[in-house]
Amino acid sequence: MDRGRQDLDGLGVCLMTARRVIETHLHALGEIKAILRAMKNLALMETQKLTRFLTTQRRVVDSIETAAEDFWAFHPELAQHLNARTPLWVVIGSERGFCGDFNERLEATVERHLSRDSLSDASLVVVGQKLGARLATHRRTVVSVAGPTVAEEVPSVLITLMDLLRELQTGRARGTEFALTIVHHRPSTEGGTIRIHEPMKRPSQGRVRFGYPPLLNLDPSAFATHLLDEHLFTLLHEVFYSSLMVENQRRFEHMDQAIRRLDRDMGELLLKRNIWRQEEITEEIEVIMLSAEALRPR
């Protein structure tokens, strides 16, 4: 009788230890889930905010591009040098992680396009710490700069980027200007696509909408210079907002999938905990029965 009770006591200790291990694991997973849910909610709020930013910025870019189209149609000679310059690729990645294959897709796109002979002299400027780490050893990478984490940081990042581009241009010989190509994610109904465009490259034939040239208060060449700078700076705002939106959409999806996996794992652990608890109850009943048998008078 004593031997059987000792065995049951030992079994009870093992069952209780196993259940406590599971409960500790469940508590840790619960804390992780709370953090992931907070990150998911922040990504959702940032996406909603960027939707408003993008709508306004797109209207500004459209108005500048419309004015530029009218200008180039009557001054094509000022745009001839835009199509024969040294290529410089600006790749917009993410500053933070937890956004799925966001940076991997950008890296693959850059590798695929820069392998062409026509881009043998192209250089890379990488924006975003996570993408910068992936392309740090790339032979084309000139410099990497920090990217924005929220929409409010976009203006300061853009100022840093524009200053950097001016420094790179200043270090080159006169007459050898850069031809910028911007690579970034943009929102779409399919969950985001990668866009590659050259904001300063004018099409070979412009569409003439008016019979008379636009009236200017500046010399046409000076106006062209200011137009290019303004278009680039405005377009980069839209590019960064688009990239941030896709990044947060990917982060929202990534967090949602992680939470679903945690729910599944926690469900399995809860089932195991209940099984161990049932075993403990069964063992306690057996101990009570053995104790009652021992106290029964002979």
pLDDT digit string (tens) for 228-238? 888 888 999 99
Token output for 200 = 């300063």
- Whether 252 shows a pLDDT value over 80: the answer reads yes
The pLDDT score that the predictor gives to residue 8 is: 47
Phi, psi dihedrals of residue 191, rounded to the nearest 5°: 100, 10
Residue type at position 234: T
* Nearest C-alpha neighbor of 231 from the set 162, 147, 183: 162
d(CA 61, CA 251): 27
- Whether 79 shows a pLDDT value over 60: the answer reads yes
Half-sphere exposure of 68 (CA within 13 A, CB side): 23
- What Rg do the C-alpha atoms of the chain give, in angstroms? 31
- Whether 200 shows a pLDDT value over 70: the answer reads no
Confidence grade of residue 15 (pLDDT, cut at 50, 70, 90): low
3-7, 44-48, 79-83, 108-112: least confidently modelled range: 3-7
More confident residue, 188 or 129: 129
Phi, psi dihedrals of residue 184, rounded to the nearest 5°: -160, 165
Confidence grade of residue 117 (pLDDT, cut at 50, 70, 90): low
- Whether 262 shows a pLDDT value over 80: the answer reads yes
The pLDDT score that the predictor gives to residue 66 is: 87
What is the mean predicted confidence (pLDDT) over 197-214? 67
Write out pLDDT tens, residues 35-59.
999 999 999 999 999 999 999 999 9
The pLDDT score that the predictor gives to residue 116 is: 81
Residue that is written with structure tokens 């998911």 in the block: 40
What is the mean predicted confidence (pLDDT) over 121-136? 93
Within 8 A by CB and 6+ apart from 63, the residues are none
- Whether 97 shows a pLDDT value over 70: the answer reads yes
- Whether 202 shows a pLDDT value over 70: the answer reads no
The pLDDT score that the predictor gives to residue 287 is: 67
The pLDDT score that the predictor gives to residue 226 is: 87
Share of the chain above pLDDT 70, in %: 81
Share of the chain above pLDDT 90, in %: 44
Write out pLDDT tens, residues 131-172.
999 999 988 999 999 999 999 999 999 999 989 988 888 876
Cβ pair 93, 230 in contact under 8 A: no
d(CA 296, CA 67): 103
The pLDDT score that the predictor gives to residue 179 is: 81
d(CA 201, CA 183): 15
The pLDDT score that the predictor gives to residue 212 is: 77
